[in-house]
Structure 1
Amino acid sequence: MSCVESRMSNYGSEESPPQKKRRNEKASPRWWWSLPDAVALSIVARLTRLDHAALSLVSKRHRSLVASPELCRARSLIGCTEASLYVCLNIMPDPNPSWFVLTRNRQLRQIPSNPYQPLRSSSSSFLVVDWGIYVIGGIVNGNPTRDVWFLDCYSHTWHPVPSMKIARKQK
């Protein structure tokens, strides 16, 4: 019997082809999808941030769970937070501040700059609250500003927040 004939004879049998068996073995467990969001959130909150990066690649549901503010709150409530060091540097000749986070292997990794922050701004104040850093006021083109921005330290994204009533700069 030739190779072609032996393959063709297998298609008539009740056994499924070997490729289908492998796909079923690799399929994700169905129980995960049936978990209520609160239970899934509780499980994921106990994983490290490094695991979150890998988990976000699995599916859209996992990605939205990992990027949600609820996950940050859950991690904070159960005491599963990891200390991070963020640094804002003015590196000449670029007049715009650059933001970095210190990685576990002690290297500074640049994160996206604030797209809302005007060029040539300085003298801002910084406030760390929960999972983010507020950048408050400062000087833009020689004038104090009322602008406030929020850096989400979990997703490394910037968000404008309501401005202050009075412009200020750090003395």
Structure 2
Amino acid sequence: MRPAVTLEQRGPEWVKSASPDQITAALQAGELAHYMGGKTPDELAHDAHVEDSPNRLLSEAYGFASHRQMSAVAGAYGSTLLESRRRDMTAEQLEKLTWLETASPEQAYAAEAAGELNSLLGRDVTNEAERISTVAANVEARIRAALSGDS
């Protein structure tokens, strides 16, 4: 699953007919990434995101902002906090967590994209639009209050 290429990619036919200045400009713009056997910046970022999926999702499942934070806490306090969090999980969440611990980056990314890990991660996507609307309304009310001096 690769992202759509956002940069126009030039091929061999274009390179054959292009001037050296055009080739230089295309190279600097990243338009020859595929021609040269590489990837665009968007593709590299996507690949890094996919590669980090298991660590990122495990950290989120345990309630941490990052894998580094989770590792630091586990290193400082042992696995007590992680075990405590596991005890609070449902059987379904534990099953998903166990699967995630052995999943490949591609499997983890695909499962997240399909919404299969929502219960583990505490994501209630059925109410997400309502939550966003409520947050927006609250922010708007605060702005109006601040502008009117009613804060």
> If the length of structure 1 is used for normalisation, what is the TM-score?
0.26
Q: Which has the larger radius of gyration?
A: 1
Which structure is higher in helix share? 2
Which structure is higher in strand share? 1
Higher RCO, Cα 8 Å, sep 6+: 2
> If the length of structure 2 is used for normalisation, what is the TM-score?
0.28
